[in-house]
Amino acid sequence: MSFIILGSCTQKQQEFSSVKKGMTKEEVVKLVGEPTTKRDILVAEVWKYDLADRSVVFRNGNVYDIITSTEARVDSIEASLKNAGKGLKEKLEKTGDTIDSASQRLKDKIDGDSVKKK
């Protein structure tokens, strides 16, 4: 009987190679089953699979990262998310600058049109 259990664990470990970034929670459960534990941190959810020595990080309901070592700690996940947030902040700042520039050009055009009408 222990051979069957061991075989089942090995099969789940092999199926973990099929888990990819972008997959939904439902797809992950279908492939590897329910996690040993689930934990919410900041803007992510971490599912830990003790027998497979894996953790799956979800953001917005999809796989964001797969950590292959039980040594990985929550603070390393937080650092990864902070880096992702930094990139997003930079993109938003650039978008804001673009909007400001377009707004100024529009204002200048409106002011120029007003001067022409007088």
User: Residue 45 and residue 56: Cα distance in Å, rounded?
Assistant: 8
Q: When comparing pLDDT for 112 and 63, which is higher?
A: 63
d(CA 32, CA 19): 8
Residue 68 sits at φ, ψ, to 5 deg, of -100, 10
Are residues 19 and 28 in contact, defined by beta-carbon separation less than 8 angstroms?
yes
Q: Which residue has the higher pLDDT, 25 or 15?
A: 25
pLDDT at 28: 95
**CATH fold of the domain at 1-72:** Beta-lactamase Inhibitory Protein; Chain:B, domain 1 (3.30.1450)
pLDDT-based confidence at residue 62 (cuts at 50, 70, 90): very high
The residue type found at 116 is K
Residue position matching structure tokens 């100024």: 104
Alpha helix positions (H), 1-118: 2-15, 25-32, 74-117
State the pLDDT at residue 2.
41
Both tokens of residue 68? 């292959």
SS3 category, 47: strand
Residue 5 has pLDDT above 60, yes or no: no
CA distance 72 to 68: 8
% of the chain residues with pLDDT over 90: 32
Measure the CA–CA gap between 26 and 46, rounded to whole angstroms.
14
pTM, entire model? 0.51
